[in-house]
Amino acid sequence: MKKENVVYLTSSEAAAKLGCAVKTVTRAARRANCGVFVHGGVRLAALHPADLVRLRAVIHETSGNPIWIAGKKRAP
């Protein structure tokens, strides 16, 4: 039987790969319903590398409401 390596990322590793804060990764994982949460769903323990694609779609470039930020860019 072939033994496969299972690779998971910590929230710190995922944050470094995505270029954001650890808290941002945790919030995005909760919204995207991915990752392994422990302690009653409070702490993000691990993420599969394939989940990074899902997280990129949820994470915004800047903090705040993205609708308001887009509205400010359109105003002359």
pLDDT at 75 over 60: no
Cα separation, 32 vs 56, in Å, equals: 10
**CA-CA distances (angstroms) from residue 51 to 59, 69, 76?**
12, 26, 38
Domain range annotation of the chain: 11-74
Mean per-residue pLDDT, 27-32: 92
Strands (E), 1-76: 36-38, 43-46
Counting Cα atoms < 13 Å in the Cβ hemisphere of 24 gives: 20
DSSP annotation of 46: E
pTM higher than 0.85: no
Structure confidence at residue 4 (pLDDT):
74
pLDDT at 10 over 90: yes
